[in-house]
Structure 1
Amino acid sequence: MEVYLTNRSATLREAIEEMIAVGALAPGQHLDETELAARFHVSRTPIRETLIQLASMGLVVIRPRRGAVVAELGPHQLVEMFEVMSELEATCSRLAARRMTPADHVHLLAAHEACREARDASDPDAYFYKNEAFHEVIYAGSHNQFLFEQTRNLYRRLRPYRRLQLRVRDRVGASWAEHDGVVRAILAGDGEKAEQLTRSHVMIQGQRFADLMASLPQLTAGRVTPAV
């Protein structure tokens, strides 16, 4: 019974987290426990527990006597978080270049190829999920569990915004080309180059920051269509 409840709780958390990531639940939107309970055919208790879990991840803000809302990030906070994200991922790539095994290389190439297929299909939603898997292969390739967990947690926090970036014109193609450079550096065992390329790939600045800011109203309004 305990295992069942744990699995149900994880499934519920992942489902609501995904709704936030794809914009079905927009930043600043009130999260009505009764509506969510009806949607997922559960009581309000597991919904409340799930919202507490999501609050601990920074995806939800729980306000005393006013309920929960989807967390919002301002421009300054976004830049700060992407700055940290770029450093964490750069470290993962540097360590992956030194520590990945031949089996890890196979997984990396498979994830890279899956991203290429999504790119060629001109499907930013599919690319979003393949891209996520690609990055996780590199996190795991660092063979540092603490770094893996911290990097993945921050990635989750930024998922709605990273997904929105992929809707900017030509960003999917540019993203894959950047991946290609990172993959080549990792396979060559060049940690410094892998680190540098990954940092540049993740960091938002200049025109990329301007594009993201211009796209934010889509996310705030909840107009990003969920992937199917």
Structure 2
Amino acid sequence: MRTKRNTSAEHAAAEAPVRRADALRFALEADIVTGVFKPGDRLDEQTLADRFGVSRTPLREALSQLAATGLVTLLPRRGAFVASLGFRDIIERFEAMAALEAMAGGLAARRIDGPGRRALQAALDDCRAEASDGDSDTYYLANERFHHVIYAEAHNAFLGDEARRLHMRLKPYRRLQLRAGARVATSLAEHERIVEAIFTGDTPGAERELRAHILVQGDRLSDFIATLDRSDLG
């Protein structure tokens, strides 16, 4: 009979590769969106395992996660390759994201209930706390939860699914733009205006604030990538 202590230890051990895979995914995301790896490059498992000092198991999980976001293409018997997503493709996806987020915000302003208000306020408070630390990557995680609460409070399952799907595909780029200048502080100020509009039932205001919030991301991303080598970004 296994003891509770052993079971907890096994559970922790089982979670460790997942956390390692997440860290590997973040590192590879950054390399892809900043041009260290170019579209079409093969991501050799052994080379990457040696570079990060890990086994292939968490690395394969990280590559699978990247494939789910559309950044990586997994080909049977050939391996993993950086997806060929052009700069224009990225900006077009931000434009589509802005439309979905605006719709979700407008519906949330009309439909949010008591528990939803508390969830959105808690998500905003988390964003404030992470912004004060100045770490753009940890702020991004709070930012992601903030937007997912808005999707949920739109109370439109189809819209929520589409928004979450596109959000996942744009995740590395949304993380990247937070590293540009004072973007974290600006993002937090925009979140404050979004929450105010939703809480006061200002449907046009919520739509306007969320659309501008996402389109600014696209503009900031353009500025950031303009400082890099864009020869392979389309």
Under TM normalisation by the shorter chain, which class is it?
A: 0.7 to 0.9
Select the structure of larger CA radius of gyration: 2
Judge conservation of contact 2:104–2:150 (CA < 8 Å) in 1: yes
Alpha-carbon distance change, 149 to 11 in structure 1, aligned in 2, over 3 angstroms:
farther
1:173 is matched with 185
Q: Look up the SS of the partner of 2:108 in the other structure.
A: helix
Identical positions, percent: 42
Superposition TM-score, scaled by structure 1 size: 0.76
Judge conservation of contact 1:178–1:201 (CA < 8 Å) in 2: yes
Matched, 1:132 2:144: yes
Note the C-alpha offset of 1:13.
11
1:117 is matched with 129
Whole-Å Cα distance in 2 between the matches of residues 206 and 82 of structure 1? 6
Judge conservation of contact 2:98–2:215 (CA < 8 Å) in 1: yes
Among 63, 82, 89, the residue aligned to 2:94: 82
1:184-195 superposed matches below 5 A: 184-195=196-207
Whole-Å Cα distance in 2 between the matches of residues 206 and 57 of structure 1? 18
Note the C-alpha offset of 1:160.
1.4
Note the C-alpha offset of 1:203.
0.9
Higher relative contact order (CA 8 A, sep 6+): 1
Among 164, 173, 180, the residue aligned to 2:176: 164
Q: Which amino acid aligns with 1:111?
A: A
Judge conservation of contact 2:177–2:217 (CA < 8 Å) in 1: no
1:198 is matched with 210
Runs (5+) with no aligned partner, structure 2: 1-10
* Count of residue pairs the alignment pairs up: 210
Alpha-carbon distance change, 43 to 85 in structure 1, aligned in 2, over 3 angstroms:
closer
RMSD of equivalent CA atoms: 3.4
Judge conservation of contact 1:75–1:213 (CA < 8 Å) in 2: no
Superposition TM-score, scaled by structure 2 size: 0.74
Whole-Å Cα distance in 2 between the matches of residues 21 and 93 of structure 1? 28
Judge conservation of contact 1:20–1:70 (CA < 8 Å) in 2: no
